[in-house]
Amino acid sequence: MTISLYDRASEAQRYIQAKARPRSPRVAVVLGSGLGGVADAVEDALEIPYIEIPHFVRSTVEGHAGKLIIGSCGGVDVVLMKGRFHFYEGYSMEEVTLPTRVFSLMGIRSLILTNASGGTAPQLSPGALMALTDHINLMGENPLRGENDERFGPRFQDMTSVYTPPYIQAAHEVARELGLVLFEGVYVGLRGPSYETPAEIRMIRKLGGDAVGMSTVPEATVARHCGMNVLAISCITNVAAGLAAAEIDHSEVMAVGSQAGKQLADLIVNVIPRIVSAE
């Protein structure tokens, strides 16, 4: 017998909440390639390997640890995904976005997404941080396609403000207090796993894309469907194809992500209490 998406998400939700007691996470954070250092800021951390959580799949990408971490960050109970699932790994959109639906069923209303991305805008050099104000979905798939369960959200979802303006404002305030430069821009999501060609990057720049990557869009779309507020931060780990002489290497992407992880961790730890107060 086929188990419905809602029932799968509910089973995972019950398992995680039973493990998390007495904590009741209010914010969920998803960490991208090489950005696992953010998890070091979590206090009294409980780690749950994905393989133990019902219906979670395995993260197969280098730089993604495959653990759910529950603890306190900035005085707020949080749950972190140390590593995410990607469409290019061969997983379905339902599998990629299941954790987002689980977080929603846990009563979490705030989602912070991070990713490692290539900069297409001239001001975005490796190590820069960019708050997403919008995205362009070039992944060739929408995670809301198929039968809709109204218990998650409506059939036709408005996408005007996927990334919550007050959250973006809070991130800018925190960045200024920390002496960090936080850019804004449009993220373009592609399937991967190959990096983009120079011709594709020229197209993306003409479309208005400032950074390009292989994640975030599905999670943000489903979060919006579930009525969650979203803050997304890109860590620019490389200049996009054709904009620099060097070829793109995943190990270098992770290295830059690790170097910028301290700044990103400081930003996230300090922004979590702000966005909770803005709920």
250's enclosing H/E stretch is: helix 250-277
Among 215, 229, 258, 270, which one carries the catalytic annotation? 215
Q: Is 240 helix (H, G, I), strand (E, B) or coil?
A: coil
| Residue that has been written with the tokens 């060739």 in this structure | 140
- 51 residue type, one letter: I
Our CA angle for 168, 174, 177, nearest 5°, is 145
139 is catalytic: no
Among 117, 238, 258, 270, which one carries the catalytic annotation? 238
Among 10, 20, 28, 89, which one carries the catalytic annotation? 89
Among 10, 41, 86, 115, which one carries the catalytic annotation? 86
Q: Is 153 helix (H, G, I), strand (E, B) or coil?
A: coil
| Residue that has been written with the tokens 């730890």 in this structure | 269
1 is catalytic: no
Among 10, 33, 59, 270, which one carries the catalytic annotation? 33
Among 94, 159, 250, 252, which one carries the catalytic annotation? 250
DSSP state letters, 104-135: HHTT--EEEEEEEEEE-STT--TT-EEEEEEE
12 is catalytic: no
215 is catalytic: yes
213 neighbors 115 (Cβ within 8 angstroms): yes
Among 6, 15, 88, 91, which one carries the catalytic annotation? 88
> Tokens representing 120?
């297409």
106 is catalytic: no
Among 41, 130, 214, 228, which one carries the catalytic annotation? 214
116 is catalytic: yes
225 is catalytic: no
Question: Catalytic residues, which ones?
Answer: 33, 64, 86, 88-89, 116, 214-215, 238, 250
